[in-house]
Amino acid sequence: MAWLTLIADTDAQHAEALSEALLDRGALSVDLLDADADTPDEQAIFGEPGEPPPGVWQHNRISALFDNDQDVRAILQAAATAIGLGQLPEHRVETLADNDWVRLTQAQFEPIPISPRLWIVPTWHVPSDPTAINIVLDPGLAFGTGSHPTTRLCLRWLDSYLPKGVSVLDYGCGSGILAIAALKLGAAGAVGVDVDKQAVIASHDNALANQVENVQFYLPGAVPQAIYDLVLANILTNPLRVLAPLLAGATRSGGQIVLSGILQEQADDVMAIYRQWFDFNPPVFEDGWSCLSGRKR
């Protein structure tokens, strides 16, 4: 079965109303995109958590999906009239061919080499190197599949520097990938914490899929108080600022901390906050992101 896709450009004033009017008249789904994307006029509208968004797109592109038996232009005319548009926006209608969307989606995610001995492998792939340490992980609702530079930076640190037999706290665990990798690389036990209940569930499921033991995942209010040999936090700069006393308190004297989710230009600021407890190694950067590691005095 094929579908019809309506592509229509409109301004910020009418974008939301027109989207709702199309849904009311039979659109199966509607997406709003920046009509200036991939041009010098592309506009960012999302800020970091806790910061106000920079604004809204001034030039919007609506992409609406319809069954192939619908009169899409008539629906657009009715929707435009309903919200008081004097004339139809610039638009076109395209046919969306039927495809195996699961297979096409899976094709976007290949095994990710972290190091010669450490790989991230989706469940639908055969490991490229069966003798390597292969973490089985599919893209899902929680952050952390190995594709983002911050996750890779943390995984490379674990691959290179993780002492055997240590206890690990993964704060902001997302998919649980760092806790799982630490256990596969020789940690004795791990605890993961995330504010998102879905992340806690995903982490637990991923740990079972990877057959790792001695790991538990919690929401912040439920985590048992303990001191750890290694604390990992791949979050964002603003939460890391707020969490500094908590993360420092969870690290034993002589233990180590690894922080990421930090833009390169923010690295010095974060280290300045944590230096009251930790001595830092030189930061490591990739694609504008930072990984900071240090030892607690």
What does the alpha-carbon distance between residue 271 and residue 262 come to, in Å, rounded to a whole number? 11
Q: Residue 46: is its pLDDT beyond 70?
A: no
User: Mean of the per-residue pLDDT values for the chain?
Assistant: 87
Residue 202 one-letter amino acid: A
pTM (two decimals): 0.66
Second-level CATH architecture of 3-98 = 2-Layer Sandwich (3.30)
What does the alpha-carbon distance between residue 282 and residue 99 come to, in Å, rounded to a whole number? 49
pLDDT level of residue 43 (50, 70, 90 thresholds):
low
Which of 31-35, 129-133, 233-237, 276-280 has the least mean pLDDT?
Answer: 31-35
Write out the H or E segment, with its range, that includes residue 125: none
Please report, rounded to a whole number, the percentage of residues in the chain having pLDDT higher than 90: 66
Q: Residue 200: is its pLDDT beyond 90?
A: yes
pLDDT value at position 104?
Answer: 44
CATH 3.40.50.150 location in the chain: 142-296
Second-level CATH architecture of 142-296 = 3-Layer(aba) Sandwich (3.40)
Q: Residue 10: is its pLDDT beyond 60?
A: yes
pLDDT value at position 106?
Answer: 53
What does the alpha-carbon distance between residue 255 and residue 218 come to, in Å, rounded to a whole number? 22
For residue 113, what are its two tokens?
Answer: 């080499």
pLDDT value at position 52?
Answer: 45
Q: In this structure, how many other beta carbons lie within 10 angstroms of the beta carbon of residue 143?
A: 20
pLDDT higher for 1 or 261? 261
Q: Residue 29: is its pLDDT beyond 60?
A: yes
Which of 74-83, 132-141, 188-197, 244-253 has the least mean pLDDT?
Answer: 132-141
CATH 3.30.70.120 location in the chain: 3-98
E strand spans, 35-138: 59-67, 91-96, 112-115, 118-121, 133-136
Q: Residue 188: is its pLDDT beyond 90?
A: yes
pLDDT value at position 49?
Answer: 42
Write out the H or E segment, with its range, that includes residue 190: strand 189-193
Q: Residue 13: is its pLDDT beyond 90?
A: no
Q: Residue 143: is its pLDDT beyond 90?
A: no
Q: Residue 139: is its pLDDT beyond 70?
A: no
Q: Residue 101: is its pLDDT beyond 70?
A: no
Q: Residue 212: is its pLDDT beyond 90?
A: yes
pLDDT value at position 297?
Answer: 97
